[in-house]
Amino acid sequence: MHKDCKEILFTHDQIVKRCEDIGTQISEEYKGKNVILVGLLKGSIPFFAELAQHISLDVEFDFMAVSSYEGTESTGNVLVKKDISNDITGKDIIIVEDILDTGKTLHTVRAMLLEKGAASVEIATLLNKQERRLYPIQAKYVGFEIPNAFVIGYGMDYNENYRNLPYVGVLKEEVYS
């Protein structure tokens, strides 16, 4: 375990198993539809890559780069650094995200994709931190519910570090306090 990690919440094996479950569910629920998976960079990369391999449908990939966090706090400004590149008019979108925390990011991005003419926009998130929610937004697919702690690994960072850890863990408070 990394020295800055207080405890491991979910191992790599547990995450892969949830990706299998969610991938199977999506494959059944979207049968016959043209789905576009929209990954939010950077945090979603490992979850996106694993989940996509368990979806047995023809799917398109697209990506947005959005960020709003400095350290452990949201700035409240969702900055779009890269927008999607495909036409999504009339398409069924699943946003693939690492974590749903205050909900500001997904609330903002979902509205943007609907504004561009998507037929439907649902959310698949690896983690849901319900206790911190400030915006009315819900994920259709959730890997795991987590308590109110700052987590790292499997794509998630603190000041751009720890994204490459193969597990999800809690960051030691002494690292950021």
Catalytic residues: 101
User: Could you tell which of ligand PRP, ligand HPA, Mg ion, none binds residue 150, using a CB distance below 5 to 8 A set by kind?
Assistant: ligand HPA
CB 38 within 8 A of CB 63: yes
Q: CB 150 → ligand HPA: shortest distance, Å?
A: 4
Q: For residues 92-111, which are near ligand HPA according to CB under 6 A?
A: 99, 101
User: Could you tell which of Mg ion, ligand HPA, ligand PRP, none binds residue 100, using a CB distance below 5 to 8 A set by kind?
Assistant: ligand PRP
Contacts of 14 (CB under 8 A, 6+ apart): none
State how far the Cα of 145 lies from the Cα of 168, in Å rounded to an integer. Answer: 12
Q: How many CB atoms lie within 10 A of CB 146?
A: 22
Q: For residues 37-56, which are near ligand PRP according to CB under 6 A?
A: 40, 42-43
Look at residues 18, 39, 26 and name the one whose alpha carbon lies nearest to residue 95. 39
Look at residues 10, 92, 102 and name the one whose alpha carbon lies nearest to residue 47. 10
69, 154, 162, 167: which one binds Mg ion (CB under 5 A): 69
The residues that touch ligand PRP, with contacts defined as CB under 6 A, are 40, 42-43, 67-69, 74, 97-105, 157
